[in-house]
Each structure stands twice: as C-alpha cells, then as structure tokens.
Amino acid sequence: MKDESARMGLGSFKALGGAYAALRLIERAGTADLTFVTASAGNHGLSVAAGAQAFGARARIYLSATVPEPFAARLRALGAEVVRSGADYEASVRAAIKDARETGACHLADGSWPGYTEPPRLVMEGYTVIAEELASQLRAVGTWPDAVYLHAGVGGMAAAVTERIRAGWDVQPRIAIVEPEAAPCLKASVAAGQLVTVEGPVSALGRLDCKQASMLAYEILRDQADSFVTVSEAEAEHAACILTGAGHATTPSGAAGLAACLREDAAHPLIILSEGAE
C-alpha cells in the first residue's frame, strides 16, 4: 500500500497536482498576479489553494452542496475564496467555467474536455510522482505487484499512474480502475467507445462521485488499463474500517482500491490510500 494521506500536509495525493500546475502556469505567465478558479470535490481545491498561497496568487474554489463543510473551512484557512454552487460536482464545474469566462481568471481544473486540456495535463503531470516513487521503492526491494488497483473520480490520478507504469516499470502488472457504483463514468465511457455522462445518486465516496470523466484520462485508460470495476457504498465503508483499524485512517473514497482488491485473489496487490480521514 502507498499511503498518500500525509502528502505535503494537505491530506491526499491531490497535493501533487493543483499546486504543481499553479506554479507552472505562473511561470508561463511571468507573474503571480493571477486568480485561479476551479471546482472541487474537496482535495483538488486544497492543492490549488495551497499553491496559490505559496506562490503569491489567489484562488477561488467552487464547491457543490455535497462537499463537507470541513473542506470549505480548510480552503478558507489557505486564503481561498469559497463559492457554494450547485447540487453536484458537475454543476460546480459549470459555475467555475462561467466565472473564468466572465472574469478572465485562470481556470485550473483537474478534468479535461475538447478545447480544454493544458491545465489538467499539468495536474496529471504532477501526479506522475506517485508512480515514479513507487518504481524506485519497488526496484530497491526487488518485488513488484501483480495487480494495481487505482480508484478514479474524473480519472486524472489513475491515468497518470497508469501511463507511468506502462512506460517505465520493470514488471507490468494488471491494472484495475475502481469507481463507485453510483458514478462509473470511465467504465461506461470505455464500454460506449466515447465519453458519456452517467446518472446516479449522490455517492458516499464523495471525492470519486464524478459523473463525467476527464477526456485525457479516458483516452489513456481506454488503451492502457486492463479492467474497470465498481464498488458499492458498503464495500468501500468496510474497506475504510479495515484500514482505519490498521492505523491508516481514511474515508470510503480513500479505501476504494482496497474494496476492489478484497474481491479478487491477486498474489501481490498494490493499492493507493488516497486520502486521510475527514
């Protein structure tokens, strides 16, 4: 297991993406006098806010009604302006796009779509650190997993790690992409042969409750992942309890990879604990 719950003091792997992308975009602009706007299910917004604060820029984060208030409080503590907008993640994305269009702010999303790819590509570039660290550690001990379980919301982390595994790991594992039953956007898109928006109830796996996948992530995972599986709310809750009981406090979102792993019989599985407890 790779535990990302302490990454950069922000509590999740997302710390690697938004802050890195903010720095790269500031470098390109030649000034930190920028306002970054994004929608977030929680952790991406924290990374963008932390990057903006660290590098002298500003951040405005759109949160839907489903995002817990503790995330909003943490965003404000990082100096970000928080705007509540919409009943679900997709509605908050639309609000952030509208804001950037009307104000000239820099839209720094972790999802991509036709005509909008560069900021999310930079976010994904930041996530590749996870796979590179794993490769170094696994190479040092001479043991490689036979299966890797990568959970996904819009799919940025799963795609970034998958691409690096296929490009650089000495031993190639089977890669399974794990989504909530309520939001299988990647699984449905691969089955349809194109990006599709799925419908479903609000999921307790809040950070993974995305009904439309990132285009960049879809294109990578369609070609390089081996399988797409879903887990139930109960399975994810059970997996979170197992990890918390073992001293790795996390959420159902953070434990989704383990939830899928427990259903299978891989001899040497690898999971990523993506976030700490709320």
- Residue numbers of the domain that contains 213: 120-273
Domain boundary among 90, 109, 128: 109
In a domain, residue 210? The reply is yes
75-94 mean pLDDT: 94
Give yes or no for residue 209 having a pLDDT over 80: yes
In a domain, residue 72? The reply is yes
Tokens describing residue 221:
């995972």
Query: pLDDT (tens digit, 9 = 90+) per residue, 220-257?
Result: 999 999 999 999 999 999 999 999 999 999 999 999 99
Are 202 and 183 part of one and the same domain?
Answer: yes
> Which H, E and C letters describe 203-231, residue by residue?
CCCHHHCCCECCHHHHHHHHHHCCEEEEE
Range of weakest confidence among 99-113, 146-160, 196-210: 196-210
Residue positions counted in the chain: 278
Query: pLDDT (tens digit, 9 = 90+) per residue, 72-84?
Result: 999 999 999 999 9
Residue 36: per-residue pLDDT: 98
Give yes or no for residue 278 having a pLDDT over 80: no
Are 104 and 129 part of one and the same domain?
Answer: no
Are 164 and 97 part of one and the same domain?
Answer: no
In a domain, residue 240? The reply is yes
Are 172 and 51 part of one and the same domain?
Answer: no
In a domain, residue 278? The reply is no
Are 124 and 247 part of one and the same domain?
Answer: yes
Which residue would you say has higher pLDDT here, 201 or 152?
152
Are 149 and 265 part of one and the same domain?
Answer: yes
Are 76 and 154 part of one and the same domain?
Answer: no
Range of weakest confidence among 21-30, 82-91, 128-137, 169-178: 82-91
Are 124 and 250 part of one and the same domain?
Answer: yes
pLDDT, the chain, mean:
95
User: 56-62 contacts: CB < 8 A, separation 24 or more?
Assistant: 56/26, 56/32, 57/22, 57/26, 57/32, 57/33, 58/34, 59/35, 60/35, 60/36, 60/99, 60/105, 61/37, 62/37, 62/38, 62/86, 62/92, 62/93, 62/95, 62/96, 62/99
Are 169 and 205 part of one and the same domain?
Answer: yes
251-265 mean pLDDT: 95
In this structure, what CATH number is given to the domain that contains residue 63? Answer: 3.40.50.1100
In a domain, residue 6? The reply is no
Give yes or no for residue 262 having a pLDDT over 90: yes
Give yes or no for residue 167 having a pLDDT over 80: yes
127-144 mean pLDDT: 97
